[in-house]
Amino acid sequence: MLVGKLITFEGIDGSGKSTQIQLLEAEFEKMGITYQTFREPGGTGLSEKIREILLDKDNIELYSNAESLLFAAARAQLTVEQIKPAIAKGECVICDRFTDSTIAYQGYGRGLNIKNLEMINNIATEGLTPDITFILDIDPEKASERMKAEAPDRMESAGIDFFQKIRQGYHQIMEQNQSRCILINGEQSQENVFKEINQLIMKRFKGELVCSN
């Protein structure tokens, strides 16, 4: 078992996080690792309701500070209701986005004060920090090509410039959190991206991997 680890995936919309999470889930199942996966915003009844508000294209009047606090409220609920209990039980938690999304999107993307956002994040998570974070790095033009088939939500409707700022923000986050964050070239094939992620997990948590089957 991989005991009580929090593994988070980050990146701009269309960076391929969901595919990589599915591949990791399949790998964990093969290895007999007990895990739970959550998405942010979401993962609890209340957080999913907040997600609807945040992604609804009709809510164009949502101010950036209100947006940040809603993301934080969803995270606070998810942390206490799901993530912390799972980790306490020794389960591995995979999270599709976490605190870094707020720094990248609301901080670097919307231009809000990063120190304030860090404080809000800290309140929402009660100081919980991921054990490892994979940032999938991709050119926003390429990411937007990948997402063409789906109707964009409120966040995805922002222009390419917004996503360029977020991408640069993720680079800054990586620079400032080098022991936790790993930047992965998301423009490679899905197989190569996963190979890299899997190797890094196995290497990082080597001594803590005990398979139950």
Residues that bind ligand TMP (CB under 6 A): 13, 39-41, 71, 97, 101-102, 105-106, 155-156
Which of 54, 65, 16 lies closest to 156, judged by CA?
Answer: 54
Q: What is the closest distance, in whole angstroms, from the C-beta atom of residue 52 to ligand TMP in the complex?
A: 11
Q: What is the closest distance, in whole angstroms, from the C-beta atom of residue 177 to ligand TMP in the complex?
A: 16
**What is the length of the chain?**
213
Nearer to ligand TMP, 120 or 201 (CB): 120
Nearer to ligand TMP, 1 or 51 (CB): 51
Nearer to ligand TMP, 148 or 206 (CB): 148
Strand segments (E) across the chain: 6-11, 35-39, 92-96, 132-137, 181-185
Nearer to ligand TMP, 33 or 96 (CB): 96
Q: What is the closest distance, in whole angstroms, from the C-beta atom of residue 97 to ligand TMP in the complex?
A: 4
* Type of residue found at 206: K
In what order do the strands lie in the sheet containing 35-39? 35-39, 92-96, 6-11, 132-137, 181-185
Q: What is the closest distance, in whole angstroms, from the C-beta atom of residue 30 to ligand TMP in the complex?
A: 26
DSSP characters over 144-179: HHHTTTSPP-TTTTS-HHHHHHHHHHHHHHHHHTTT
Q: What is the closest distance, in whole angstroms, from the C-beta atom of residue 188 to ligand TMP in the complex?
A: 20
CB of 110 closer than 8 Å to CB of 165 = no
Nearer to ligand TMP, 102 or 144 (CB): 102
Rounded to 10 deg, the angle between the 114-125 and 64-78 helix axes is: 30
Q: How far apart, in whole angstroms, are the C-alpha atoms of residue 210 and residue 213?
A: 9
Q: What is the closest distance, in whole angstroms, from the C-beta atom of residue 102 to ligand TMP in the complex?
A: 4
Nearer to ligand TMP, 97 or 165 (CB): 97
